[in-house]
Amino acid sequence: MKSKLNIDPKMVDSARQHAANVARDMQEFIDVHTTVSTERTVLRLLGVDGIDDVETPLPNVIVEQIQAAGGLPRGAAYWMGNAMIQTGLKPQEIAEKVGAGELDITKLDTVSAKEAEEAIMPIVHESLKKIKAQTAKRNEYIERLGEGSRPYLYVIVATGNIYEDVVQAKAAARQGADIIAVIRTTAQSLLDYVPYGPTTEGFGGTYATQENFRIMRKALDEVGEEVGRYIRLCNYSSGMCMPEIAAMGAIERLDVMLNDAIYGILFRDINMQRTIVDQYFSRVIIGYCGIIFNSGEDNYLTTDDAFEAAHTVTASQFINEQFAVLANIPEEQMGLGHAFEMDPMMEDGFLYELAQAVMAKEIFPNASLKYMPPTKFMTGNIFRGHIQDALFNLVSIWSGQSLQLLGMMTEAILTPHMQDRYLSIENAQYIFNNARHIGDEVEFKKDGIIQKRAQLVLSKANDLLAEVEKDGLFSTIEQGKFGGVKRPKDGGHGLDGVCSKDDQYFNPFIPLMKEGAE
């Protein structure tokens, strides 16, 4: 397909190759390291759930026992398989005994890694079968009910109370929403455990728990039957428990998950070594079960200038694409992120936004691009804000975006009311309908503002990616080249949860998930 922006395909190939080299370099690090959260995820996939008498999740209890004994380099799968052989118990039964203080799995007699792996493989396949059944159920719903047309109308609920979230989510679906994102309570990303059970209190959002996922999934299935289309559920697979939440999402049939290691490093100060390792396992899970991941490049423009730093967004999209390739994620599950964040007072800002969005679509034509609304320059003037959102909606339909987080005219004032959400959905539906095929009809002036802007941003992104390849991603982040935020390689939250693997380490889920096995 001929580029409307007249961007150089050789430049795109060059940028993609630099990004692939960056991702492969990181994969070498990932392959020889594990983390406490990765090992807790293995336990959750083996069926371990619940809490002890002081409400510590059992996966945490077991991994803390393994880590304290110096056994983490061998991996939780080994210790659980060994314990099954030595006790004759199932993983959940073993976990409950550990939680009650009746068993230390690191003090049992040990077998070889091969024997331990053979012991847990029936449970591994049982787990994968359950996840595949959820994927099949999603496909059945979509085939029977259908779904909204793209861009999917994507809205948030954030009351803090999962039961109130259900009320608002159902209302939004009836108003026309296609995706409901349950915003996490403030700072949950910094908790090194996943809370247990349903929750009714949260600040700025609702706790991400497996039970809350189950409650919301059931509610959206109910309202989907009512409105006659499948309603997708989104939550956050990020933070200190990134892969655990991905596993919970797979088990409870979430459809979209925000998932980006660089976001956690820059904006939550999570140690880069830990979160890069965790991202890999989380994306293998996401790829396996058909979830669309959303990357977080849009956030760069909240801490950096959208005009000057646009190339960092494009560069990061290339890197996120290549990380996804290594996790065996199909292109249609790559929700690469960007945002409409130009200063609205900038002359021709709309043209620059359009250039960026069309370029993203041309470079990543099969990706499920996630487009984020204006936030940085929302002032509390609801009338101007509604117009800013309208221009954002116009760029989205023009450039063929896939997932559209709708802007709210009350952004920067309050958590959206149901009526705010309705007005945002109405705004988007009006513009999407009236300009549905504008992208097919309009071409751009040769060497005009739009073409030159896209070409410049791509060229700068290619140059940046060449620097990242030369310096390494860790060093690039230390230098503050993404989002204008610097983070140290050996700093941030969670560094003590990273370790090198030993020669008996195994994680049976990664190879099986990457090959699509049951």
Could you give the CA distance from residue 482 to residue 478 in angstroms, rounded to a whole number?
Answer: 9
Contacts of 277 (CB under 8 A, 6+ apart): 29, 30, 33, 34, 35, 38, 498
Amino acid at 392: F
- Look at residue 47 and tell me whether its pLDDT is greater than 70: yes
Q: What is the mean pLDDT of residues 140-163?
A: 96
Alpha helices in 228-268 (DSSP H): 242-251, 261-268
Q: What are phi and psi of 347, to 5 degrees?
A: -65, 130
Q: Is residue 12 part of a domain?
A: no
pLDDT of residue 1: 66
Residue at 466 is within a domain? no
Q: Specify the pTM.
A: 0.97
- Name the residues annotated as catalytic: 263, 298, 370
**Banded model confidence at residue 177, pLDDT cuts 50, 70, 90:** very high
Asked if residue 414 has pLDDT above 90, the reply is no
Angle in degrees, CA 297, 365, 449, rounded to 5: 70
Q: Using one digit for the tens of pLDDT, what is the confidence trace for 55-64? A: 999 999 999 9
The mean pLDDT value for 88-92 works out to 98
Residue 22: inside a domain: no
Placement of tokens 């728990």 in the chain = 209
Instruction: Specify whether 112 is located in the same domain as 153.
Output: no
Report whether 314 contacts 352 (CB < 8 A). no
Q: Are residues 177 and 92 in the same domain?
A: no
Does residue 515 sit within a domain? no
With a CB cutoff of 8 Å and minimum separation 6, the contacts of 348 are 449
Instruction: Answer whether residue 472 is part of any domain.
Output: no
| Two structure tokens written together for 513 | 């998930």
Q: How far is CA 57 from the centre of its chain?
A: 23
d(CA 391, CA 402): 17
The DSSP secondary structure of 364-397, one letter per residue, reads: STTS--EEE---TT--S-HHHHHHHHHHHHHHHH
**233 and 156 in contact (C-beta within 8 Å)?**
no
Same domain, 86 and 186: no
User: Coil, helix or strand for 160?
Assistant: coil
Same domain, yes or no, for 116 and 213?
Answer: no
Residues 363 and 443 in one domain: yes
> Residues 85-101: what's their mean pLDDT?
98
The span from the CA of 334 to the CA of 229, in Å, is: 22
Nearest CA to 355 among 399, 394, 306? 399
Size of the chain, expressed as the number of residues it contains: 518
Query: Does 185 reside within a domain?
Result: yes
Mean pLDDT of 491-515: 97
Is residue 65 within 8 A of residue 98, CB to CB? The reply is yes
Is the domain of 160 the same as that of 56? Answer: no
- Does the residue 56 lie in any domain? yes
Select from 295, 225, 202, 212 the least CA-distant residue to 254.
212
What is the reported pLDDT for 86?
98
End-to-end Cα, the chain, rounded Å = 38
76 and 219 both lie in a single domain: no
* Torsion angle of the four alpha carbons 193, 258, 174, 404, in this order, in degrees rounded to the nearest 10: 160
Average pLDDT, the chain: 97
- 299 shares a domain with 207: yes
**Band of pLDDT at residue 325, cut at 50, 70 and 90:** very high
CATH number at residue 189: 3.20.20.440
Give the H or E element holding residue 225. helix 210-227
Task: Classify residue 138: in a domain, yes or no.
Answer: no
Exposed / middle / buried, residue 392 (Cβ in 10 Å: 0-12, 13-18, 19+)? buried
Q: Is 416 exposed, middle or buried (0-12, 13-18, 19+ CB in 10 A)?
A: buried
The two structure tokens encoding residue 332 = 């249609």
Tell me which residue range forms the domain holding 428. Answer: 148-450
Query: What total of structural domains would you count in the chain?
Result: 2
Q: What is the DSSP letter of 308?
A: T
Same domain as 336, residue 268 = yes
In this structure, the number of other CB atoms found within 10 A of the CB of residue 121 comes to 12
Integer Cα distance of 486 and 93 in angstroms: 45
Q: Tell whether 266 and 370 lie within a shared domain.
A: yes
The residues, ordered by sequence, that sit 6+ positions from 142 with a Cβ below 8 Å of its Cβ are 230
Residue corresponding to tokens 């058909």: 290
Residue 284 confidence (pLDDT): 98
Percent share of the chain, pLDDT over 70? 100
> Within this chain, do residues 117 and 153 fall inside the same structural domain, yes or no?
no
- Measured CA to CA, the distance from residue 482 to residue 313 in angstroms comes to 8
- On whether both 112 and 72 belong to a single domain, the answer is yes
